Amino acid sequence: MIPVRGFDGATVAVLGLGRSGLTAARALRAGGATVLAWDDGARGREAAEAEGFETRDLTRAGAFEGVACLVTSPGIPHLYPAPHPAIAAALAAGVAVDNDIGLFFRSLGWNGEAPRVVAITGSNGKSTTSALLHHVLTQAGRRAHLAGNIGRGVLDLDPPGEGDVIVLELSSYQTELARSLTPDVAVFTNLSPDHLDRHAGLGGYFAAKRRLFAEGGPDRTVIGVDEPEGRFLAGQLQEAQGDDRVIRVSTAKLETPGWQVTARKGWLAETRKGRQVASVDLRDIPGLSGRHNHQNACCAWAAARSLGLAPREIEAGLRSYPGLPHRSQVVAERSGVRFVNDSKATNVDAAAQALAAFPAIRWICGGLQKEGGLDALAAHYGHVVKAYVIGREAGAFAVALGPGVEAEVCGDMATAVARAAAEAQAGETVLLAPAAASFDQYDNFERRGEDFAARVAALE
């Protein structure tokens, strides 16, 4: 555990007592703070009380008297569509609001050691990029830790030592609120519409992610420039053309000078000062199939190069990477049919990338539809043999797909897997890429992916 510094003898309130909240409470106590804990659910409060924390209803009048800071979990709204009553009360009382990421950065280095921190954000691919970079580092013999929005809560890490590397996956919820953001290397994978209700639109969503680059002034940035927002961000961060502190990443040819890592037609290429210095054929790497994963590989490559790894070390790590569950994960092959779990494709852009990765798809999709509609998927319907729609509103989702794809309303995963498997032909892929959130039928996308894998395993 990393003890939180700067609150010794002070009282700090913690709102939300899930994984990150309870860990933050423990780390605050380890640093000498007095913790007041609150969760809207009785189970969370009981868990805190069992560990000796005092609970206080933070929505009651006067709850923040004598409180120095409120630490909140990322899933709790703090501004849009409306702040949680406890957060509104803290702001009205003039109490600072932070999260575990902010506490981590303010506490780093108090033991005199200086680990390096790589922070990775973006709409899609940040989990794969984070896990891939961590894998590359460990395979190269570097002591690395994976935390944040993936793996362990960041304050649950053991205090890092000199030369360690901490790889953090950060969501927009985390970057928007953290009061301290000071990574050594910051990575922006891409941007597509997501979480628009929490950020009052696309501009607010981009602004939340931009804070990672604007607040702390990282030594080096890796920026995906295939969208306008990425190109704008790279332009803001560079001091002049060819500024090596900004590494541009793209799946297209770049005309800009400077340091860049691109992936075109399955080939990764690193270019510096107009000269290609390394290249890797990504097409035969099972854990990195598809254009979107090639972009992830470019981001991880650029970050690893920023940390001083040689091209041969990085390539070895890419080739041994096993992939992440629920992200283009091959769960079975039966009679020439591949079954792929991409349950993490919870938005339209991620689903479009999954559809582009395979030529003939039996597509399982549907769930809690997000804002923006499904029109962006139409460009990839040529890869879809048939769609099998799940979710409580499966009929409406099937209609929203439009006339460009044959769709069968299945309702639940068991029916969808059975129908797709029965109709699939050799050479086709049965792909779960929902293009929707899971909360209408599952607790999270992991449970949805696990159900898909279990149904596939149970096929006769």
**Helices and strands (H, E) in the chain, number of each type:** 15, 20
Q: Which residues are catalytic?
A: 126, 149, 195
Query: Is 125 annotated to bind ligand?
Result: yes
Query: Is 370 annotated to bind ligand?
Result: no
Residue 220's identity, in one-letter code, is: R
Query: Is 190 annotated to bind ligand?
Result: no
Do the bridges between strand 429-432 and strand 54-55 make them parallel or antiparallel, or are there none, so unpaired? unpaired
**In angstroms, what CA-CA distances link 239 with 181, 186, 221, 225, 398?**
21, 17, 13, 17, 49
Query: Is 32 annotated to bind ligand?
Result: no
In a 3-state reduction of DSSP, which class is residue 199?
Answer: helix
Query: Is 189 annotated to bind ligand?
Result: no
Maximum distance among all Cα pairs of the chain, rounded to whole angstroms:
67
Query: Is 273 annotated to bind ligand?
Result: no
E strands of 47-94, at which residues? 54-55, 69-72
Query: Is 444 annotated to bind ligand?
Result: no
Residue 359's identity, in one-letter code, is: P
Whether the Cβ atoms of residue 418 and residue 326 lie closer than 8 Å to each other: no
E strands of 51-202, at which residues? 54-55, 69-72, 96-98, 116-121, 144-148, 165-169, 185-188
Whether the Cβ atoms of residue 398 and residue 387 lie closer than 8 Å to each other: yes
Residue 119 has a CB neighbour count (10 Å cut-off) of 30
Residue carrying structure tokens 């919820």: 173
The residue among 55, 114, 45, 60 whose CA lies nearest residue 90 is: 60
Sign of CA dihedral 81, 87, 88, 91: negative
Contacts of 63 (CB under 8 A, 6+ apart): 13, 56, 57, 86, 89
Rounded CA-CA distance 136/455 in Å is 32
Phi/psi of residue 44, each to 5°?
Answer: -65, -40
Rounded CA-CA distance 122/137 in Å is 21
* Binding site feature residues for ATP: 122-128
* Binding site feature residues: 122-128
